[in-house]
Amino acid sequence: MLRAAETINLVYFALLVGLSFAFPLPSARRLQIASIGAAGSLLVLGGVGASLILPERVGWILRDWLPAGVLLVAYWQAGRFFTGPNPGLQRLLADVDRRAAAAWQRWAGARVPTWMERYFEYAYAAAYPLVPLGLATLYAFGYDDYADYFWSVVLPASYACYLMLPFAPTRPPRLETPDGVDAIGARPPGRGLNLRILDRLGIGANTFPSGHAAATTAAALVVAEFAPAAGLLFLWVALSIAAGIVVRRYHYLADSILGVLVALVVWGLVRAAVG
């Protein structure tokens, strides 16, 4: 029997394949979207099939952790929709950021201090391990039976952001500055690592709302339900990520705020649905 998270994954992959025919994409792009969707679906179904062969506990653990990898495949599939930014939306998001930066300067009287740039650069790097660490924390506190619930919040929050990419395509603000990725100030430790990860795993497009903010906030909210003390730490890191992606120009301000809101709405709906 399929878990809720597995069903969510299969529906998402099929939906994007169907959606590819609603957009004027080159045939090669549609083939890539279909191929990635098929690979993701096979990964999900392979996990289900393997659980029938492996020892029960091993199979259970495999299905608990497999969505962490499937999430990345889903991100790549959405990325194949990106053929260029929406200029109007790009200008709007950039204008909101300029107004916010001007307000910050009026209030603080200076640019973001170097120590804060460093902190937020490291905070952004934490976006990658935070979701699997959330599941690991549930395991550590004896709540591994709630792994499917965890993913039933994290996956829809993330996929709601990915699904917007075909309709609201933009480029990350770090790629839109006149002087390149480091026109935003000092290049603190961690910047190079983050950019290398994006070069290898990224899609060259911006998700609006932010998938980083949505996924990490969703994970933190679930952890806070079961382990409040650990959850507070996770929420602090998630909020630091939501701020860091803006300060370090990985996302626009609106991306971050909407990503957090998406996570809150999805968490509230799933929590109400399961009682």
Which pTM does this prediction carry?
A: 0.92
DSSP characters over 25-67: --HHHHHHHHHHHHHHHHHHHHHHHHHHHS-HHHHHHHHHHHH
The per-residue pLDDT for 111 is 66
Is residue 97 scored above 80 in pLDDT?
Answer: yes
- pLDDT tens digits, one per residue of 34-54: 999 999 999 999 999 999 999
The per-residue pLDDT for 112 is 65
% of the chain at pLDDT higher than 70: 93
The structural domains of the chain, with segments of one domain joined by +, span: 1-81, 86-274
The per-residue pLDDT for 195 is 83
Each residue of 210-239: b (16+ CB within 10 Å) or e?
Answer: bbbbbbbbbbbbbbbbbbeebbeebbebbb
The answer to whether 212 touches 126, Cβ cutoff 8 Å, is: no
The answer to whether 219 touches 233, Cβ cutoff 8 Å, is: no
Q: For residue 185, what is the DSSP state?
A: S
- pLDDT tens digits, one per residue of 152-188: 999 999 999 999 999 999 999 988 765 444 444 445 5
- pLDDT tens digits, one per residue of 125-141: 999 999 999 999 999 99
